[in-house]
Homo-oligomer: A and B are copies of this chain.
Amino acid sequence: MPEHQLKALHSANAPSAEPKTLVESAYRSLRRDIIEGRLQPDEKLRVEHLKDRYGVGAGTLREALSLLVADALVASQGQRGFRVAPISLADFADITRTRIMLECEALRQAIALGDDAWEGDILAAFHRLSKAEEKLSGDEAREEWEERNRVFHEVLIAACPSRWTKHFLSILYHQAERYRRLSLYRNPIPRNLHEEHEALLKATLARDAEKATAIMAEHIGLTLKALQQLEPDVFAGNGGTQA
């Protein structure tokens, strides 16, 4: 029964199956609020307050928080409750480097092993992403763009046979999403995301692994560069020197 393990490994990005339990429902709401910044980094998560906010019991919320520890979006300290995982530039640099290593390797394998159906899926995901890019001006559309961007990256490496690599990448992607929002808000470097994605698409379909991975590394690294050129006050109240 491979389905179970896949679901377990990819619990972080289950396509969009309806949450069947209150725990899962609270888990998703919490994760969304953390990634989108409504629950700020390093903020204390008091169970008594949050159980009203999300309309569940204390035990249920506690269980949802335990699941978020898996994604490293929440940190639990011994007997002193839960906190939103802190952020720092050093941490994002680590996330970016690790993600580049894994995602380039996955892409290399996908290019070597992908079949026709895989190519088709990539084209479809790219098309949907392009459509979302056009109407990115409105703030509402960002939600949709973020989702389609995730799917595009996911489909690119779908032909990679390593479940573990993809599992780790999905964790890193969600981590990076927190930082990406900071970057987009301030908009320091005007990027032409469409061209980046198109170059990635063409190199991949041409089965040019060297070129594709180079573009991918550049593409992922640009968000880090953007954040590095930002004033450090974005990370208000962090530790700062972790990695």
Q: Which residue numbers of A lie inside 8 Å of B, CB to CB?
A: 1-2, 4-9, 11, 20-21, 24, 59, 62-63, 66-67, 69-72, 74-79, 83, 85-86, 91, 94-95, 97-98, 101, 105, 161-165, 167-168, 172, 239, 241-243
Contacts and interface: CB of A to CB of B under 8 A. Distances in A.
The complex is assembled from copies of this chain, and their number is 2
Nearest to A59: B59
A163 B79 contact: no
Interface centre among A62, A71, A95 (most CB of B within 10 A): A62
Contacts of A168: 98, 168
A8 B78 CA distance: 10
A68 to B, nearest CB: 9
Chain A at the B interface: mostly helix, strand, loop or mixed?
A: helix
Given A72-B167, A101-B101, 14 more contacts: A4-B75, A5-B75, A8-B74, A8-B76, A11-B69, A62-B63, A63-B63, A66-B66, A70-B71, A91-B163, A94-B162, A94-B164, A98-B165, A161-B243
Contacts of A4: 75, 77, 83, 86
Nearest to A71: B70
B98 A162 contact: yes
A204 to B, nearest CB: 20
Contact of A69 (B2, B70, B76, B91): B70
A164 B67 contact: no
- Ordered nearest first, which 6 A-B pairs have the shortest CB separation? A70-B70, A8-B75, A66-B66, A98-B164, A20-B78, A2-B242
Contact of A63 (B66, B72, B164, B165): B66
9 contacts: A4-B77, A4-B86, A5-B242, A8-B75, A20-B79, A63-B66, A67-B69, A94-B164, A98-B165
Contact of A2 (B8, B59, B97, B239): B239
